[in-house]
Structure 1
Amino acid sequence: MNVKEILVALREEMRKNNIDVYVVPTADFHQSEYVGEYFKARKFVTGFSGSAGTAVIALDEARLWVDGRYFIQAEKQIEGTGVEMMKMLEPGYPTINEYLEEKIKEGMTIGFDGRTVSMGDGIAYRCIAEKNGGSVSYDKDLIDTIWKDRPELSKEPAFMLEEKYTGESIESKLSRIREEMKKAGAESHILTTLDDICWTLNIRGNDIEFFPLVLSYAVINMNDMHLYIDESKLNNEIKAEFEKNNIKIHPYNDIYEDVKSMTVNSVMVDPTKINYAIYSNIPESIKKIEERNPEILFKSCKNEVEVENMKKAQIKDSVAHVRFMKWIKENYDKEVITEMSASDKLDEFRKEMGGFIRPSFEPISSYGAHAAMCHYTSSPETDVQLKGGTVYLSDTGAGFYEGSTDITRTFALGEIPEIMKEHFTLVLMCNLGLGSAVFMKGCTGINLDILARKPLWDRRIDFNHGTGHGMGYLLNIHESPANFRWRYRKWDSDVLQKGMIITDEPGIYVEGSHGVRLENELLVCEDEKNAYGEFMRLEHITFVPMDLDAVKVDMLSDEYKKLLNDYHKEVYEKVSPYLDNEEKEWLKKYTRAI
């Protein structure tokens, strides 16, 4: 079926179930950013393939909410489907809740699969419906009814991540979590987020696209833990480790009935993470303590073992990127290289480094005008050959056993127009300005974001995405609460702390022409303590040249020149020991002082 036919079938199901508006988020049952094939309901119903967005289907219209990363992509993919795009955070466009407020009338029903909607969103929908004399229906998966060839849930096995990689035992992690439960006055703690569960249990898997996670739920009590998972995924080593820590295994879907019979007095839940169905099944007699999952901050602040491992992963990926940069700049005009074949070649270089598991997110390999789409994904239908005269943007990541990486570079292919060089140089200034930050302890990413945007804002230019995000250790590539952005978000605008790893990725995007983005990973470090207070600093852990072929040197102040030269000196020192003589000579050229 095409999208128009799917919408007809969905509306028929809506009428059968007395549902007037049906909400389809981009989510699995665990609020994951990327989801397995089984959970791609929003893509199925709208045709939009991006990693974020929410569809709202009424009986007379269909709308799709997307953020600034996807405006261009979504507009193209939903053209002619009858789905209308709503630009999030843009003037003139209502939020989903504002739209529902207007749409829902007396006696109307908002429907959604409560397993795919967060507690907070579900409550908001219920309040909107009841205020307007309506109701919600959260126990019907209408998409499943019409999706005849829906893929099955993943059956991939889990694996244990050894303590030489994690730096902390399950016992220690559970002890820390229980201390936070005590502080909150909670006897139980329900976890539905896969990265929090996998971090706690030191396991990884292959159930989520790109992220090595395992479909599961968990209930942590003071003396035991209950894990809801397909037991066939667990080997004897994992089971023995779980038994040692009094972790009891239950069938994956039993969580929904089991929470109905909970007998504790209080339970801690994260309203932004727990899904609405589980929340609604908790007995009313149990006190619900709404707190952010403590695992979120714990895993964001990497321990010394994790930091050293992630630095090793970055060196591996930096070496792979140097070889990739050399190959692409020397061969784009000698052989047929396309967006997709270039991305595949980069992964070949990564595999040569050893310990490579898989890409850490969907690769962005974009040439020319495609690079203006922040989260463009090349496909057989859109794949194009790389040629000279413009830029090529590669935003990709790797999952090594030592950790995850996320690196973006924009390369000049031959001689490029002056405007592209100007934009490249501005983005370079943004990247270097933030990457060199020294700041007072207690600052958040909101405080520092201006360091990245000032060169652009001074020229009345901006980019429509955050400047940086936290990095998970073989978990989610976008990991809260560490970030750089100028907008405040509750529970996601924390003080920057030692051990956080955050990306630095400003950009400029010109629709129909080109895009430039440069991304390094930064480690938050403690710095000097003196009479003025405690200082923090950021340390580069990504070591890939900034393409000097694209730099307008006369735009750079002496300070920026020094920052770039110092960075390139470190790139050569860190990467050259892993290169052969020819590669070293090439790297010398692209890390030369300017």
Structure 2
Amino acid sequence: MTIAERVNALRFLMNEKEINAYIITSSDPHMSEYVPYRWTSRQWISGFTGSAGTVVITENKAGLWTDSRYFLQAEKELIDSGIELFKMGTENTPTPYQWLSSELDTDANVGFDGTCFSVAETRNLKNSLGDLGIHIVEEFDLIDEIWEDRPALPNGEIFDHDLKYSGKTRYAKLTKLRKKMAELDCNYHFVGSMDDVAWIFNLRGSDVDYNPLALAYALIEKEKATIYLNEDKVPESLVKDLLEDEIEIAGYNSVFNDLEEIPGSANVLLDINRTNLRIFNSISANIIERENPTQLFKSTKNDVEIEGMKNAMKKDGIALTHFYYWLEENLGNTKVTEFTVMEKLKELRSQQEGFVGESFGTICGYKAHGAQPHYHTTEESNVEIEKESILLIDSGAQYLDGTTDITRTIPLGDLSEEQKIDYTLVLKGMMQLSMAVFPVGTRGCNIDALARMDLWKNLRNYGHGTGHGVGCFMNVHEGPQSIRQELKDQAILKGMITSNEPALYRDGKYGIRHENLILCKDAGSSEFGDYLEFETITLCHFETKGIIVELLTQEERYWLNNYHQKVYDILSLELDEKHKAWLREKTQAI
């Protein structure tokens, strides 16, 4: 079916069930960012392939809402679909629910799949449409009735994340979690997010692209814990190990019956942002609504995880050195396309010990493609890369001991004055955040301006956040911390690993983004309190030929030269003479 035919088929079902509007999110039953193919419903109904967006279908209209990362991509992918693009965050653009308020009559029925809608989002919807007397219909997965070849549930094998990588046993993590449950006077803790389940029980899987996770829920009690998943996926030896820690395995869908059987007098801790509505409605006990404690627990890496992440950065740096050497040698001598770059990067990373896969789909944006922050190369958009203009590459890998995420912007020929200024200003912002020293208790929104200040002074900016948390052989996007302009009441804490990625995009021309990962650590104490700072742990050179050195402060030049020396000192030990000499040239002091 064409996109228009799919939308019409959905409208036919809506009419049958007397549903006036139907909402399709980008989520799955675990409120994941990256979802198994079975739950790519929003992509299937609209043709929009970005990772974030919401589609709303009414009897006569259809709209897609997405953020600034995907405006250009969505415009192209929605052509001839009959679906209107709504650019979230721009002036005079209504939210999906504001739009529905203007489109619907009183007493209308709004439907969605209750297993793919969080409790928090449901309340937001009800509050937004409350004056209209809207009726919520959450029991129908209408997409399932029209998607004839819909993928089945993923069935990848689950494996143990060894203690030499995790640094803490399942028993230790459950003990810490149960202590928090006791503080909150909770008898049960339901965990719906796959990354939290994976971290608590030191389990990993392959049910989701890029994230080493397994489709699973968990219910934790004072004396035992139950993981709900496809039991055939768990090796017998792992089942035995789990039982030794009072951890049972149960069928994936049996979670609903177990939740219904919790005594009404019990207190159940759950995160309404990471719990779907059907799960929530299965519980008749008293619910304590709090963020999953494991969100914070796993964000502050232990010493073993930190060393593992640093080792992953070293392996990644070696692969990237080989890649950028290859790119320089081959560009102009053989045909190199965006797809070629993506394939070569994966090939070279796969040669490193402990490589499991990519941590997200590589963004390889040549010239104007780089102006799309989350550009996705397709057969139609793939272009040949030549020795001119700018190439932006944002990529990462999953290793057994850590997760990487790095962006480098590569000048491929002589740059214009404007391009050099942009390149330098973005790099200055990244360096200023790298050098930050701040008091304990500082939030990410308090230091976001450091990365933007030089851009602002020159009337430039970027529309996305500056930094996100990164997991340890886990999700490449992790909370609860972030570095962005929006207010969020979460301090940056010792042990957190966060991305540092200021940027600048010129629509139709090019994009520039520089990204390293930074580890928060102690900076010292004084009579004014305790202070923190960042250690840059990514290991890869910057192309200095894009820099206007006169725009750098002495402190910035010192930081860049020291960073390049560190990159060379660590990576050169693992390189042959050819690559070592090349890297020595790339890391020369400026």
Partner of 1:445: 444
Partner of 2:375: 376
Task: Tell me the SS of whatever aligns to 2:499.
Answer: strand
d(CA) in 1 for partners of 2:124 and 2:580? 58
Question: Where does 1:480-499 land on structure 2 (aligned, <5 Å)?
Answer: 480-489=479-488, 493-499=489-495
Higher mean displacement: 299-308 or 93-102: 93-102
d(CA) in 2 for partners of 1:346 and 1:125? 42
2:586 pairs with one of 586, 590, 593: 590
d(CA) in 1 for partners of 2:283 and 2:104? 27
1:210/1:358 contact within 8 Å kept: yes
Question: Where does 1:160-559 land on structure 2 (aligned, <5 Å)?
Answer: 160-263=160-263, 264-283=265-284, 286-489=285-488, 493-559=489-555
1:109/1:129 contact within 8 Å kept: no
d(CA) in 2 for partners of 1:536 and 1:589? 33
Task: Tell me the SS of whatever aligns to 1:526.
Answer: strand
- Give, in angstroms, the shift of residue 194 of structure 1: 0.1
4+ residue runs of structure 1 moved beyond 3 angstroms? 126-131
- Cα distance per residue 1:68-102 (max 9 Å; x no partner): 11111111111221111111222111112322333
- Cα distance per residue 1:217-249 (max 9 Å; x no partner): 111111111211000110012101211121222
d(CA) in 2 for partners of 1:372 and 1:259? 47
Partner of 1:56: 56
Partner of 1:145: 145
Give, as a single letter, the amino acid of the residue that structure 1 aligns with 2:267: S
Question: Where does 1:553-568 land on structure 2 (aligned, <5 Å)?
Answer: 553-568=549-564
2:98/2:128 contact within 8 Å kept: no
- Give, in angstroms, the shift of residue 364 of structure 1: 0.6
RMSD value, Cα: 1.2
Task: Tell me the SS of whatever aligns to 1:90.
Answer: coil
- Give, in angstroms, the shift of residue 486 of structure 1: 1.0
- Give, in angstroms, the shift of residue 38 of structure 1: 0.8
Give, as a single letter, the amino acid of the residue that structure 1 aligns with 2:546: A
2:97/2:129 contact within 8 Å kept: no
Partner of 1:86: 86
- Cα distance per residue 1:281-305 (max 9 Å; x no partner): 211xx21111000000000000000
d(CA) in 2 for partners of 1:237 and 1:473? 24
Partner of 1:38: 38
d(CA) in 2 for partners of 1:20 and 1:261? 35
d(CA) in 2 for partners of 1:187 and 1:100? 40
- Give, in angstroms, the shift of residue 134 of structure 1: 2.4
- Cα distance per residue 1:313-353 (max 9 Å; x no partner): 00100111111112112221111111111111111211222
- Give, in angstroms, the shift of residue 475 of structure 1: 1.5
d(CA) in 2 for partners of 1:507 and 1:368? 15
d(CA) in 1 for partners of 2:75 and 2:282? 38
d(CA) in 1 for partners of 2:350 and 2:41? 33
2:502/2:515 contact within 8 Å kept: yes
- Give, in angstroms, the shift of residue 386 of structure 1: 0.6
Give, as a single letter, the amino acid of the residue that structure 2 aligns with 1:277: R
1:55/1:65 contact within 8 Å kept: yes
Higher mean displacement: 122-131 or 446-455: 122-131
1:105/1:133 contact within 8 Å kept: no
Higher mean displacement: 147-156 or 88-97: 88-97
1:104/1:129 contact within 8 Å kept: no
Question: Where does 1:101-140 land on structure 2 (aligned, <5 Å)?
Answer: 101-140=101-140
1:438/1:537 contact within 8 Å kept: yes
Task: Tell me the SS of whatever aligns to 1:317.
Answer: helix
Partner of 1:573: 569
- Cα distance per residue 1:497-554 (max 9 Å; x no partner): 1110000011111111100111000000011112221111100101111111211222
Give, as a single letter, the amino acid of the residue that structure 2 aligns with 1:566: N
- Give, in angstroms, the shift of residue 366 of structure 1: 1.3
Give, as a single letter, the amino acid of the residue that structure 2 aligns with 1:497: L
d(CA) in 1 for partners of 2:565 and 2:202? 37
d(CA) in 2 for partners of 1:290 and 1:97? 24
Task: Tell me the SS of whatever aligns to 2:114.
Answer: coil
- Cα distance per residue 1:460-510 (max 9 Å; x no partner): 211111101000112211100121101114xxx411111100000111111
Percent identity at matched positions? 36
2:371/2:510 contact within 8 Å kept: yes
d(CA) in 2 for partners of 1:65 and 1:180? 38
Give, as a single letter, the amino acid of the residue that structure 2 aligns with 1:591: T
- Give, in angstroms, the shift of residue 130 of structure 1: 4.8
d(CA) in 2 for partners of 1:576 and 1:341? 26
- Cα distance per residue 1:173-228 (max 9 Å; x no partner): 11111111111121111111000000011010000111110001111111111211
- Give, in angstroms, the shift of residue 575 of structure 1: 1.1
Give, as a single letter, the amino acid of the residue that structure 2 aligns with 1:5: E
- Cα distance per residue 1:375-429 (max 9 Å; x no partner): 0111222111110211111101100111110011011112222221211111110
d(CA) in 1 for partners of 2:201 and 2:238? 9
d(CA) in 2 for partners of 1:23 and 1:340? 34
d(CA) in 2 for partners of 1:275 and 1:131? 24
Task: Tell me the SS of whatever aligns to 2:482.
Answer: strand
Task: Tell me the SS of whatever aligns to 1:56.
Answer: strand
- Give, in angstroms, the shift of residue 128 of structure 1: 4.3
1:525/1:539 contact within 8 Å kept: yes
d(CA) in 1 for partners of 2:409 and 2:170? 41
Partner of 2:29: 29
Task: Tell me the SS of whatever aligns to 1:433.
Answer: helix
- Cα distance per residue 1:235-286 (max 9 Å; x no partner): 0121012111212222111222332222152111111111111112211xx2
Give TM-score, length-normalised by structure 1.
0.97
d(CA) in 1 for partners of 2:50 and 2:91? 22
d(CA) in 2 for partners of 1:317 and 1:517? 18
Give TM-score, length-normalised by structure 2.
0.98
- Give, in angstroms, the shift of residue 150 of structure 1: 0.8
2:113/2:139 contact within 8 Å kept: yes
Alignment pair present for 1:74 and 2:74: yes
- Give, in angstroms, the shift of residue 60 of structure 1: 1.2
